[in-house]
Structure 1
Amino acid sequence: MTLPTIRRGRPDEHDVIARVWMESWVSTGLSQASESLLNDLRARPPREIAGGWSLFVADDHGTIAAMLALHLPTLLLDQLMVAPSHQGRSLGRHLLAFTRRQMPDEIWLKCVRENDKAWRWYEREGFGFEKESLSPVTGFTMKHYRWKRANHTSEVNP
């Protein structure tokens, strides 16, 4: 199986991206699909891109399989959402490897505390827990994580 191609998301794809985002979020069991949620997610890409997001998609032969939103100025992996139809196929790991190429030294992210599957995966992928905080927007408690590239240079004594 070949992995989907990661490329920039286009404005004409924002509706499809919002649907993938909602389906992925709903698959966590923390929310239910609704027109209200979908409309909120449809409104976010243009606003977030204006605020500094770099929006990428995983394109599986013309099907958007995942979305990835990075805020490079703050080293933030803001969203990594894989469509339920593409979960369990190493696509998340592929997107994380792409993220590490974009931010090779350090990455920050936030994850909903109740989303055990996600934060446990990030921990297995080398992210360290930093703190928890309450999101004023969603009301969820967020776990903050950081990944920092290991410095493999060794000191040489003269």
Structure 2
Amino acid sequence: MSSDDVLLRRAHADDAHAAAEVWLHSYAVALPTVRCAHDDGDVRDWFARVLVPQYETWVAVAGNDVVGLLVLKGEELKQLYLAPEWRGRGLGDRFVALAKQQQPDGLSLWTFQVNGPARRFYQRHGFIEAERTDGQRNDEREPDVRYVWKPRT
């Protein structure tokens, strides 16, 4: 199945568990050196109580499986995670295009400094580094970087 065959749609309450599982698996694979600040149960609860019902959460569905997620909170891109086997297949590109469509005046996001693949991905999509921190403001206490995207005028 190609990325073009994957449906992007708003998440429903019953997607929260599957989206959390994608997040947990992707985080473990993509960020093996970064301590996850919350246990698996807390992450699942966060998806069910906060991300899906309170934020603009989108899922990528291949067949009957959730294989990716995008979470927007206004102009902030809060989460973009893909099942590891879906990385590099164009699905992330589709999610970024969707985020830009939803927030045409601009976006911002945070990622960890050690996450080179994510940083290159966002830079390729026109995001510019705006700030670096020592990580004291995030739950993981991991140095991070903020990126912003503004449309061309």
Band the TM-score falls in, shorter-chain normalisation: 0.7 to 0.9
Relative distance call for 1:33 and 1:99 in structure 2 (3 A) is same
Relative distance call for 1:136 and 1:122 in structure 2 (3 A) is closer
Check whether the contact 1:26–1:33 (CA below 8 A) recurs between aligned residues: no
Please give the alpha-carbon distance, in whole angstroms, between the structure 2 residues aligned to 1:98 and 1:27.
Answer: 25
Please give the alpha-carbon distance, in whole angstroms, between the structure 2 residues aligned to 1:48 and 1:138.
Answer: 18
Structural RMSD (CA) = 2.0
Segment drifting more, 37-46 vs 91-100: 37-46
Task: State the number of aligned residues.
Answer: 147
Please name the residue that 1:98 is paired with. 98
Please give the alpha-carbon distance, in whole angstroms, between the structure 2 residues aligned to 1:49 and 1:132.
Answer: 28
Q: How does 1:1-158 map to 2 (within 5 A)?
A: 1=2, 2-30=4-32, 37-45=39-47, 46-49=49-52, 52-72=54-74, 75-133=75-133, 134=135, 135-151=137-153
Tell me the SS of whatever aligns to 1:27.
Answer: helix
- Supply the AA of the counterpart residue of 1:131: E
Q: Unaligned regions of 5+ residues in structure 2, if any?
A: none
Q: CA deviation at 1:9?
A: 1.1
TM-score by length of 2: 0.87
TM-score by length of 1: 0.85
Tell me the SS of whatever aligns to 2:61.
Answer: strand
Please give the alpha-carbon distance, in whole angstroms, between the structure 2 residues aligned to 1:40 and 1:128.
Answer: 32
Q: Unaligned regions of 5+ residues in structure 1, if any?
A: 152-158
> Identical aligned pairs, as a percentage?
25
Which of 1 and 2 has greater Rg? Answer: 1
Please give the alpha-carbon distance, in whole angstroms, between the structure 1 residues aligned to 2:85 and 2:51.
Answer: 26
The higher relative CO (CA closer than 8 Å, separation ≥ 6) is in: 2
Q: CA deviation at 1:32?
A: 8.2
Please give the alpha-carbon distance, in whole angstroms, between the structure 2 residues aligned to 1:65 and 1:93.
Answer: 14
Relative distance call for 1:64 and 1:48 in structure 2 (3 A) is closer
Which structure 1 residue ranges, 4+ long, deviate > 3 Å from structure 2? 31-34
- Supply the AA of the counterpart residue of 1:106: G
